[in-house]
Copies of this chain bind each other. A is one copy, B any other.
Amino acid sequence: MSLLVVGSVALDSVETPTAKRDDVLGGSATFFSYAASYFTKVSLVGEVGEDWPAEHTKLLQSRQIDTAGLKVVPGAKTFRWRGKYQPNMNDRETLEVHLNVFEKFNPKLNDEQRQSRFVFLANGSPIMQLGVLEQVANPALAVCDTMDLWINIQRDELMKLLQRIDGLVMNDSEAKLLTQDENLVRAGHAVRKLGPKFVVIKKGEHGAMFFSEHETYVMPAFPTPDVVDPTGAGDSFAGGMMGYLASQGNFEPKTLKEALAYGTLVASFNVEDFSLERMKRIERPDIDRRMREYKQMLSF
């Protein structure tokens, strides 16, 4: 079924303990849509500025991503983020953020986008996320991401959003912040009780946890020795997850679990190089090969 993602499209500058890259392709909607493209057709809604290299749009299109909703705003600049990873490659420091065109991002969906059945609202203000959700006529599954900033400054709007969505994907630190509970099992269920039917807590190198009324489970990350740049891991996780769900056209418990596994594996490729570099070198069979290893790893 049709999958829509709305979120940031950015130019990232990333420093790790061993290397750095300037102005590479980034943004939550970018990582998400590229990851989802291994499973289904995805439509991306986002905004960039006049400094946007057209080759990036072509790259997305080469994976059949519908970029009709990727608007180049005249006179504006693209969202830029600069960050530095600690030696553990899990903690990072934001050195610079220039929201630029993303600051007033308030997208209007076209008719086709309004008919989307699977919707992912990548990290952005809950007000913007609610505004988008209201435009979608009849979503089968609406899932969103959020971050500490919105928990701190738009808590009421976030609470309203949580009442409206089916699923929430968030980081462990954000789940703790939102619930004031340091135990992730309790925190996950507490978030679920705020509205969403299911909650996924991302734990970076330690994998992800799933919470629904009748299920609680953990999926470990795929143990890769080649962590080069974790930027976009969470978004590619969500992209793999939602892409698989849309490809199956349902979100039964069994499908959701497979979707979390696919998200885990796409993210494990994503961290193996900067930006989309590693993902550019893989095809769906590479993901399925890793899936066989992953299933083997978890069976005993």
A interface, CB within 8 angstroms of B: 17, 87-89, 182-186, 189, 203, 205-207, 209, 216-221, 223-225, 227, 254, 257-258, 261, 295, 297-300
**Contact yes or no, A297 B223, CB < 8 A:** no
**Contact yes or no, A218 B223, CB < 8 A:** yes
- What is the distance, in angstroms, from A275's C-beta to the closest C-beta of chain B? 20
| Chain B residues, CB < 8 A from A207 | 206, 218, 220
| Chain B residues, CB < 8 A from A182 | 17, 87-89
| Chain B residues, CB < 8 A from A219 | 220
- Max chain B Cβ within 10 angstroms of own Cβ: one of A203, A205, A295: A205
**Contact yes or no, B261 A217, CB < 8 A:** no
* Complex Cα spacing A261 to B217, Å: 15
* Complex Cα spacing A115 to B288, Å: 48
- What is the distance, in angstroms, from A188's C-beta to the closest C-beta of chain B? 8
Please tell me which one of the listed residues B186, B205, B299 contacts residue A299 in the complex, with CB atoms under 8 A apart: B299
- CB closest chain-B residue, reference A225: B185
* 20 A-B pairs with C-beta separation under 8 A: A87-B182, A88-B182, A183-B227, A185-B224, A185-B225, A189-B225, A203-B206, A206-B220, A207-B218, A207-B220, A209-B223, A216-B223, A216-B297, A217-B223, A217-B297, A218-B223, A219-B220, A257-B300, A295-B300, A299-B299
Knowing that A217-B223, A218-B223, A258-B300 touch, tell me 4 more A-B residue pairs with CB under 8 angstroms: A184-B205, A206-B207, A218-B220, A218-B221
* Complex Cα spacing A186 to B186, Å: 32
* Complex Cα spacing A270 to B91, Å: 30
- CB closest chain-B residue, reference A218: B220
| Chain B residues, CB < 8 A from A258 | 300
**Contact yes or no, B298 A183, CB < 8 A:** no
**Contact yes or no, B186 A225, CB < 8 A:** yes
- What is the distance, in angstroms, from A247's C-beta to the closest C-beta of chain B? 16
